[in-house]
Amino acid sequence: MRRLAVGVVALALLAACGGGGGGSAQPAGSIKVTMTEWAFSPSSLSVPSGKVVFYVVNAGTISHDIVIRDGSGTTVARSELVSAGDSFVLTVPSLAAGKYTFICDQPGHEANGMKGDLTAT
C-alpha cells in the first residue's frame, strides 16, 4: 500500500511539473522563439554572450527544430525535434560573442525560409 501511495504522489508531481511540453511555462529570463511554416519569429536576435536560454515554441502544424551554427557552419547547439503545438527549452551554456545563424534542419525547411541571424555581444 505504501508503494502505491508513493507512486501516486510521484506521478502527481511529474504531472504538475510538466516537461518540455506544450503546457510548460516560459522560463524567466529566457528568449522566446516561435517556429511556424516556414519562419522563425523573431528571425533576428541579439543576446548577451555567456549562458543563453531559448524558449522554443512550435506554433506550426508540423515538427520543427532549431540549430545554432557559428560562422564556419559548426553546430553550437540544437533542440530536440519539437512537435506541432509543443515547446522546448534550449540552454546554450556558454555562447561566445560573435555572429551565428539558426535554422530548422528538417528536410527542405531552411530552403523554404526557416533561418535567422543571431548576434551575441
The pLDDT value given to residue 60: 97
Per-residue pLDDT at 22 exceeds 70: no
CA distances (Å), 71 to each of 58, 75, 115, 117, in order?
Answer: 26, 10, 14, 11
Average pLDDT of the residues in 70-92: 97
Average pLDDT of the residues in 100-114: 97
- Contacts of residue 30, defined as CB under 8 A and 6 or more positions apart, other chains included, come to 53, 54, 55, 89
Per-residue pLDDT at 67 exceeds 90: yes
pLDDT digits 0-9 by tens, 24-48: 799 999 999 999 999 999 999 999 9
Q: What grid cell was written down for 113?
A: 525560409
> Which domains are delineated in the chain?
20-120 (2.60.40.420)
Residue that is written with C-alpha cell 516560459 in the block: 26
Average pLDDT of the residues in 46-72: 98
Q: What CA–CA distance (Å, rounded) separates 39 from 60?
A: 9
Pairing of strands 31-36, 50-58: parallel
The pLDDT value given to residue 24: 75
Question: Comparing 3-7, 23-27, 87-91, which segment has the lowest mean pLDDT?
Answer: 3-7
Per-residue pLDDT at 110 exceeds 80: yes
> Which of these, 94, 102, 95, 110, lies nearest to 37 by C-alpha position?
110
| Percent residues over pLDDT 90 in the chain | 80
